[in-house]
Amino acid sequence: MKPQSLISSFNPANNPDTLASHERAEIDASTRFPVLLFFSSAIFWLLVGSLFGLISAWKMTHPALLDQMAWLTFGRLRPAHLNAVIYGWASAAGIGVGIWLMARLCRVPLLHSKLLISAAIFWNLGVLVGVLGILAGDSRSIEWLEFPGYATPILFVAYAFIGIWAIIMFRFRKPGHVYVSQWYLFAAFLWFPWLYATANILLIWQPIQGSAQGAVNWWFAHNVLGLWFTPIGLASAYYMIPKVIGRPIHSYYLSILGFWSLALFYSWNGMHHLIGGPFPAWMVSASVVASIMMFIPVVTVAINHHMTMRGHFGALKWSPTLRFTVFGAMTYTLVSLQGSSMAIPSLNTLTHFTDYTIGHAHLGLYGFFTMMMFGAMYYIVPRLTGWEWPSAQAIRWHFWLVAIGIILMVVSLSIGGVLQGLALYDPQVSFRNSLDYATPFRWLRGISGFFLLGGHLVFAGLFTAMLLKIGRPKDGPAYFTAPAKVEASPL
Amino acid sequence: MTAGTLLLIGGLIFLSGSALAAFYWSVKDGQLNNLPDAARTIFDDDEPVGTPTDKFPSKQ
């Protein structure tokens, strides 16, 4: 672009373009330490969590595997897997992406980074104590809340720091429009402590009695997905997709509608886990209705992302961020519509208590959220370290290993789950024999775990290279090469 | 009623109230007035509309 005045010709620093890029680079740099701290710890827990998951998966086909030591038995390893990936990986990655996005969207350099660094330390301490507690046999046996009572306050302290920080950042943002990603992020940062505190009060500090515990449990577990991970994932997609291809989102109106309808409907969804359970019919019915109403936020997001991408799908070839993000966005549509369908009681009776549900959970947390986080990290990390990802080939390996892994896992668990469900329906088949229908598909799921773990190792290697500054520095502050100049990168 | 229940009801009222307040604020503040421009707020002179900002790392 042409210099605006004579002075700017002499000193490029006065050029408005350079000023804008300096401002952005300064904001990015201010987030460097806390964001990289959250990312590094998240990737560590991703490796630990996938290893736990892989062993748990093979225990389903080989029950005698590693059963000599109490702390490696299925009853401990499987909740350790769940909590390591939920709190250690997904939440920490989401917080890291959230911090970076908040700073960029508030258009101010990060304030109070010490608050966030303390939060990262406390968060990881909480996860470490919690995972070790589960392995030691102190699990609470409440799904998604297995962390023992001595771990949860540490997590809560960490979380309080992040919530306070989010309010401060929002308060001191530069005036102007509040972009839709920021609505999603700010809401997520306020919803999570409410969910976590409510569930802990009602289930651990002053436990309510009887089957109502189930209602609280599933209200919490489902909302962690819908009011914590989903808004962070969508915030990332609503920023990354337009930014990477350089085109504003198709319909801003739909994005606002999507945000408010998610806020209105999602927190009612949890009870659909309890269809057929000992609960008042109205609770379950209200939840089924709300689950179907989720079509509104999901379809608005789907239309928006698809229409923004239309004509730009070629960009998937040259942008790693976009490839992961669009995979995540498409999976979001798929997994959400699948979830709504699973809330329909007649379908639910077939899929409930089968591997189909496990497939659905992984499609949501992995196919959607984790892929979204990988995409965001590919965009963010070079802007924080000032270094270029060392190998395009390794990025392709990462993408294809995890993409094939998650597709194999979900497809095999879904088919196995339906066969298992049909066998459960059949009075001629005993319960014991109904499990045999799922077994071959559990083998496939076990194999998919190797793909995922392999992909994670590749990604961890790439990330470590970035931290150690192996490779070469990024050129210039804008980090841009015209797609025409980029060498062809076939899929 | 236990302290926990009171805390929960308080939290519920606060949270629903803050959602309503946030929506009221967004309308009052004019956040929803010019949606096409709002979608462009993430672009600036340095990274304008039409500028892709990500690529695979190329070989040295």
- pLDDT tens by residue, A143-165: 999 999 999 999 999 999 999 99
Measure the CA–CA gap between A271 and A285, rounded to whole angstroms: 8
Taking the C-alpha atoms of residue A199 and residue A194, their distance in angstroms, rounded to an integer, is 8
Task: Give A284→chain B minimum CA distance, Å.
Answer: 20
User: B-chain residues within 8 Å CB-CB of A486?
Assistant: 55-56, 58
Joined tokens for residue A133:
């507690």
Separation between Cα atoms, residue A184 and residue A262, nearest integer Å: 10
- The strand ranges marked E within A257-371 are none
pLDDT bucket at A245, cuts 50 / 70 / 90? very high
Instruction: Return the CA Rg of chain B.
Output: 22
Question: Does the distance separating the beta carbons of B47 and A319 come in below 8 Å?
Answer: no
| Contact between residue A100 and residue A240 where contact means Cβ atoms under 8 Å apart | no
Residue A3 has pLDDT above 70, yes or no: no
Least confident of A162-166, A176-180, A421-425, B12-16: B12-16
Q: Which residue of A has its CA nearest to B55?
A: A319
CB contact under 8 A, A201 and B8: yes
Verify whether the Cβ–Cβ distance B54 to A322 is below 8 Å: yes
How far is A472 from A466, CA to CA, in rounded Å?
A: 9
Among B14, B16, B28, B54, the strongest candidate for a mutation testing the A interface, having the largest count of A CBs within 10 A, is B54
> Could you tell me which chain A residue has the CA closest to the CA of B12?
A194
Euclidean distance between CA atoms A487 and A472, whole angstroms: 17
Nearest by CB to residue B46, choosing from A17, A205, A388, is: A17
Centre a 10 Å sphere on the Cβ of residue A51 and count the other Cβ atoms it contains: 16
For residue A255, which residues of chain B lie inside 8 Å, CB to CB?
39
Nearest to A470 by CA among A390, A393, A397: A390
What per-residue confidence (pLDDT) applies to A480? 32
The pLDDT of residue A16 is above 70:
no
Whole-model pTM: value is 0.92
